[in-house]
Structure 1
Amino acid sequence: MFADWLTYLPALGTGLVTSVQVTIASLVLGLPFGLLLALGASSENGLLRSAVIALVELGRGTPALVVLQIFYFGMPGFGLTLSSFVSAVIALALTTGAYTSEIIRGGLQAVPAGEVEAADALGMSHLDTLRYVVIPQGLRIAVPPLLGFAILIFQATSLAYTIALPELLGAAYSIGSTTFRYLSVLTLAGLMYAAVTIPMSLLTDRITARMSRHL
């Protein structure tokens, strides 16, 4: 098995890089989208708030695998063909936005009401209050759970093997279909996932403890 691992490692390493790239791109697009959804769900405009909440619930209720299939196999029906990488990034970014909107909204609502009232007393506009008071503090509160969700998105990139993206799991299946040594290659792929997620989990726990102590 160890001899096999030395043979498989270069191909799986390339797949791991692809998984990390998809994760980063999905978070870069999805987190700002989640912030916009969180602000919309907290809006005083009832119609806007209801529409955004309905959109968030739809996004949270639809499995990421289904969204992946829609963008990769469904878009050609509209005359738009997307690569597997682009489809994976868009699908996971939308999933990220839907889930992180609730995390961010919780962080925004955790900002003490007294600080918002103080901003109003100083004559700050609603937009300035959001920009300088609510959003910075709310995002700081939301950082630990957002880091935890980022780990989940990295793991979710494994779903992209269903749309022929050569990420880590896809590379493992490709090797397995050629060598028929699935146990060996999938074990190595699992260890490579763990080599990323375990340090990230420990880092998240450390950041959470540090911020909790500060608060």
Structure 2
Amino acid sequence: MNWEGFTETIRDASSILLSGLFASLELTFVALLFGYALALVLAIWVMAPNRHLRTVALCVIELGRGLPLLVMLQLLYYGLPDVGVTMGGFAAAAAALAFQTGAYGSEVVRACIQAVPKGQREAADACGLSRWSSFQVIILPQAIRIAIPPLMSIGIAIFVATSLAFVVTVPEIMSQAYGYGSKTFQYLAVFVLAGIFYAAIAIPASAGVAVIERRLDPDV
């Protein structure tokens, strides 16, 4: 392909991949919305005094961390219909990504909760707050502040991982790139452009995480 053909392919494919970018961002938003909530629940269960809750939480976390995302996508989209459960491509991708977000995010949230100084808990007890009230009012807000940068880093990784959602027919960036490439056979140009789309979101977001981390660091 000559340079003129390369640039023409880039120009023609840009609008197609832009629609895929919106789909990727929408999928990321839904996955993180439910994934962060799951991460908080799992983190609380792991630290719970109830042994059964801890066991369930640990099993879910290890499953989410140990099962490859591609396998999870195939299982939800192609496997569940065998037992009478059918999920659309977007729902299957969002569920798989949210599950992995919750599994990895739970360890971050748990570590951040435990990072809150013990004196804060003692002060809450001295004020007569119940254990749950002190957790809601004193511990959790401080833990969330600590957890923001690492959770944002997980969010960036999840955005990049949406590229696998093409296997379950979600019209995200890679799906649109494959579709355009199969019609024009200009795979090099369209995949370069797809990489640029991912980098255009991930690189500035990573830089933003570094800035936020410095601003939240009390020692800086």
The alignment's TM-score, normalised by the length of structure 1, stands at 0.97
Q: Which moved more, 1:97-106 or 1:46-55?
A: 46-55
- 1:88-167 equivalences in 2 (<5 Å): 88-167=93-172
Matched residue, 1:187: 192
Task: Measure the CA separation in 2 of the matches of 1:161 and 1:6.
Answer: 22
Whole-Å Cα distance in 2 between the matches of residues 112 and 152 of structure 1? 29
Deviations 1:68-119 (A, max 9, x none): 1111001211222211111101110111111100011011000001110111
Which structure 2 segments of 5+ residues have no match? 1-5
Matches within 5 A, 1:1-215: 1-213=6-218
SS in 1 for 2:116: coil
Let me know the Cα RMSD of the aligned residues: 1.1
Write the letter of the residue equivalent to 1:176: G
For residue 64 of structure 1, report the CA deviation from its aligned partner. 1.1
Q: What's the CA shift string for 1:155-209, capped at 9, x where partnerless?
A: 0000111112110011001111111111000000000111111110110000011
Deviation digits for residues 36-94 of structure 1 (CA, Å, limit 9, x no counterpart): 00000111222321221122111111111111111100121122221111110111011
Identical counterparts, % of pairs: 42
Shift of 1:214: 6.0
3-state SS in 1 of match to 2:49: coil
Name the CA distance, whole Å, in 2 between partners of 1:20 and 1:116.
Answer: 38
Q: Secondary structure at the match of 1:82?
A: coil
Distance in 2 of aligned mates of 1:107 and 1:213:
15
Count of aligned residue pairs for this structure pair: 215
Kindly provide the CA deviation profile for residues 95-145 of structure 1, in whole angstroms up to 9, marking residues without a partner as x: 111110001101100000111011112111111011001111111100000
The ranges of structure 1 where at least 4 consecutive aligned residues each deviate by more than 4 angstroms after the TM superposition are: none
Amino acid at match of 1:98: A
